[in-house]
Homo-oligomer: A and B are copies of this chain.
Amino acid sequence: MTQQTGSGAVPGPMVALARRARLASRTLAQSPSSARDRALWAAAAAIREASKTILAANAKDLEASTARDAFRDRLTLTPERVEAMALGLEEMADLPDPVGRILEEWTRPNGLRIRRVATPVGVIGVIYESRPNVGADAAGLCIKSGNAVLLRGGSESLHSARAIHAAIQAGLRTAGLPEDAVLIAPDADRAHVADMLGAAGLVDLLIPRGGRSLVERVQKEARVPVLAHADGLCHTYVHSAADPGMARRIVLNAKMRRVGICGATETLLIDAAIAPSLLPLLVSDLAEFGCTFRADAEAREIMPDLPPATEQDFATEWLDAVLNIAVVDGVDEALDHILRYGSSHTEAIVTSDEAVATRFLNGTDSAVVMWNASTQFCDGGEFGFGAEIGIATGRFHARGPVGVEQLTTFRYEVIGTGQVRT
């Protein structure tokens, strides 16, 4: 399949688009930062100008949609949300150019100068669901990082996605960059997704943005590298040497600031030594904001009214005002729990004991580990990356927040004065 699609033996429309995107990617990769930034400013202006058209297209999508509640809300655009898209593109233009950075540089005894230079990835495929602004964000981040992008949005947001895409291509035209740098699936045919998953040699990187089932399908079937996270089952471990006040502030924020984001804490681990005095305070803080609980046997010995947690609860990313609670005997038991139930996303420890903190930081295989901070800080903006396209939990290339720098790869440049190898 890879080989066939990659070599075009069975060229679906997405494969044809990918070929055009690859050609455009060469121009974009060598375009000056000023041209890419100009395209972002112009795209933002075009989105504002086309605001009415975009909202009308979105109304069509909403009319045809049977979606309800949260899903319908994600699909819905408002004048404010359109303005936010435009502002987002302008903020990307203000970021430093991630392309051409010299990442490392050294000189060999024979005088060869070797440097590692940041380069665009090439063609990035973004598969997303109903949220129309994801298309604008993804296109902007790819333009900024010198990548061409192939967008495949959800069928429900097709009209909205097309209207936004037209505005972004107008921005590329204004900057004298190839329109083909941002291309979009012509229709909602599900075969397009399969084509993208198999387009080795044409698409260099896939980024799925959406629910767990989409991400897992892409991770399972893709024949090209994928940056994504399926789960964000984050843990906060309150060690016996934690400052109680700090623990209360961090746990409340890590769970309740926003319950629906992947960096939200789903499970509280607390040391047996401190649980009898601190757990009731943590629980009452959280309950005050509407949090409910799933507690293990030891926690229920301290607070018998807490509902019991099942094995499955500890493996569940609630994305809701629900917190699993387990009492542990020290950092090693906390680490065992995380290795067993975690998703390699983000874990935090609260302690004033540096040796224990170091052991914790070294002991998980998670992309992000925090000491005395809220897991909700796992975010491109909070890391100082500017806009992010998502969070990656794989072991390679980018881990944690994926911003424009993480959308680049590198090449080695070796500069000699005629050296030959002996």
Contact = CB atoms under 8 A, between A and B. Distances in A.
A421 B30 contact: no
Contacts of A377: 112, 414, 416, 419, 421
Given A372-B416, A372-B418, A377-B419, 17 more contacts: A30-B363, A106-B384, A108-B383, A108-B384, A112-B382, A121-B395, A205-B395, A205-B396, A246-B418, A249-B418, A364-B411, A368-B414, A369-B412, A369-B413, A383-B412, A396-B397, A399-B411
Interface of A: 2-3, 26, 29-30, 106, 108, 112, 114, 119, 121-122, 204-205, 220, 223, 225, 243, 246, 249-250, 252-254, 257, 339, 361-374, 376-377, 379, 382-384, 394-397, 399-400, 409-421
A168 to B, nearest CB: 24
A370 B416 contact: yes
B112 A412 contact: no
A376 B252 CA distance: 58
Most-contacted residue by chain B among A372, A376, A412 (CB, 10 A): A412
Given A250-B420, A396-B225, A30 B373 contact: no
User: What number of copies of this chain does the assembly contain?
Assistant: 2
A370 B253 contact: no
Given A369-B413, A421-B374, A396 B396 contact: yes
Nearest to A107: B384
A414 B119 CA distance: 27
A150 B340 CA distance: 22
A421 B257 contact: yes
Contacts of A411: 361, 364-369, 399
Contacts of A369: 411-414
Nearest to A363: B30
Nearest to A379: B421
B400 A361 contact: no
Given A413-B371, A415-B373, A421 B382 contact: yes
B250 A373 contact: no
Contacts of A400: 412
A253 B421 contact: yes
A377 B420 CA distance: 8
Contacts of A372: 415-419
Nearest to A366: B411
Given A382-B108, A384-B106, A399 B412 contact: yes
21 contacts: A26-B339, A29-B362, A30-B362, A30-B363, A108-B383, A114-B384, A119-B365, A204-B395, A220-B223, A249-B420, A250-B418, A368-B411, A369-B414, A370-B415, A371-B416, A374-B416, A374-B421, A376-B420, A395-B409, A396-B409, A397-B397
Contacts of A382: 108, 112, 421
Given A30-B362, A396-B409, A414 B225 contact: no
Contacts of A2: 220
Nearest to A30: B362
A3 B220 contact: yes
A420 B253 CA distance: 6
